[in-house]
Structure 1
């Protein structure tokens, strides 16, 4: 099933076997996060969050690059502090929406991902990049420190490496991004589709309930003290153990058979 967004197909959606594929479709502008693009993304994320049948989300892009960040031309034509605050707030809601989705989100990255585009990659749970991909938070080159991208970046990359990227504006290549923790896997461009499909298949092979328990727990505990995180994780794990899928999974393991998971939403 295919859906297209009302905003002149600026964001494409395809649903297949419990997976939602969202494709940034502004290739002539390197898929910049214009107001329209951000609105379209937020709308889709809100819809996906309420859909118990969704198992995974893949964020991809058309054209030569993944995403060049905010639309600087649009920003330059609106020199108003209230406008900028509203724009960055809208972008932050989109990034938080990715983190707060109850299912894993995979960024499928080719070409360049810069500034808020790099933030988009960092906000996804997993990121699989073509070896030719490159990453930067280069606002500093235009006199603008990438403050909001820094929030997501500094939660993936060590503080000194993140700050080095932010204060220099330098690009890093895909292998460096993998080494630093910004992406989870790198492959040749010709293998990108297959690599994403393989990761999606792994997620779909697991218990839908367990994946949802895990996604919410993983991000929540990162903001807690270690003691609080253990208390919270123990409570979530106990809830998970009471779910029929955990009982089925343990029984299947003990009896050396393949488990049969409940359908999503149960």
Structure 2
């Protein structure tokens, strides 16, 4: 269990970073930092010209470990999860070489942060992508969902918590290729990684930095801005109630919005 890095035989210049936190890959605080460290290390290794980010288990990523958050006294786990996600998302984006996300099953919450910051995405036919943040008493990763779908669709998905499938993302150009099953997912990701890794390693690293430099949105600053509203919801006591309901699997009545008049 944890995060591991391998170099598959016959795929020169390619590293595979695998996330394994069964059963659903809901990462604890330490897991997000472990993932960030693995991605940064893979990018620093001069032998690597491309990285494939994949996962074991029932789905690619289910976001943060809410049970860990709720059984930890105070705000340490909340702050740790926010900072850990921030670092892991940034590590994908800032990895010195291109990162290909290989997604199967569910990709939710923090998974969107990872995939949205990747350079390319391949996915299985049954892969689903979404942000159930409002149902979990949180906000965030709209920055990254907006890199996968058009703006108005992003808002509707965000407000409703609904998911979108791999085939639809393929139509938007967000998913490079759709594999019929998990057995062929890694092969599809490695095929793209091999095509990238065939290029000059020095030029690839320059290209990654250059492409990040011309992005219209600063993903670090944008996501940090979103996180501020998560903290506000926690200070109001809204978040704990929704997380408790999630842990106990009990539905919670929606809360009316606050008026900001006179504030």
Query: TM-score of the superposition, structure 2-length normalised?
Result: 0.75
Native 8 Å contact 2:68 2:77 kept in 1: no
Query: Is 1:18 aligned to residue 10 of structure 2?
Result: no
CA distance in 2, matches of 1:150, 1:79: 28
| Alpha-carbon shift at residue 156 of structure 1 (Å) | 3.1
> Is 1:199 paired with 2:192?
yes
Which blocks of at least 5 consecutive residues in structure 1 are unaligned?
1-8, 225-266
Give the structure 2 partner of residue 91 of structure 1.
85
Partner residue, 2:51: 57
Which of 197, 206, 223 in structure 1 is aligned with 2:216? 223
Moved over 4 A (4+): none
Structure 2: distance between partners of 1:79 and 1:123: 32
Cα separation, 2, equivalents of 1:125 and 1:112? 19
Query: What secondary structure is seen at the aligned counterpart in 2 of 1:99?
Result: helix
Encode CA deviations 1:23-69: one digit per residue, 9 max, x unaligned: 111232x1112112112112212322322221111111111211111
Q: Structure 1's 20 and 116: CA in aligned 2 closer, same or farther, altered over 3 A?
A: same
Q: Deviations over 1:59-115 (max 9, x none)?
A: 111112111111110122236346423421221111111111110101111111111
Q: Provide the rounded CA distance (Å) in 2 between the counterparts of 1:69 and 1:45.
A: 17
1:1-266 aligned within 5 A:
9-16=1-8, 17-28=12-23, 30-78=24-72, 80-81=74-75, 83-145=77-139, 147=140, 149-189=141-181, 190-223=183-216
Q: Which runs of 5+ in 2 are unaligned?
A: 218-263
Mapped to 2, the partners of 1:207 and 1:84 lie a distance apart of: 42
Count residues with an aligned counterpart. Answer: 214
In 2, distance between residues paired with 1:119 and 1:186? 20
Change (3 A) 1:75 1:82: closer
Partner of 1:235: none
Moved more, 112-121 or 85-94: 85-94
User: Which residue number in structure 1 is paired with residue 252 of structure 2?
Assistant: none
Length-normalised TM-score, structure 1: 0.74
- Residues 1:200 and 1:77: Cα distance change in structure 2 (over 3 Å): same
In the TM superposition, residue 181 of structure 1 has moved relative to its aligned partner by 4.3
> Could you tell me whether the CA contact under 8 Å between 2:127 and 2:166 is conserved in 1?
yes
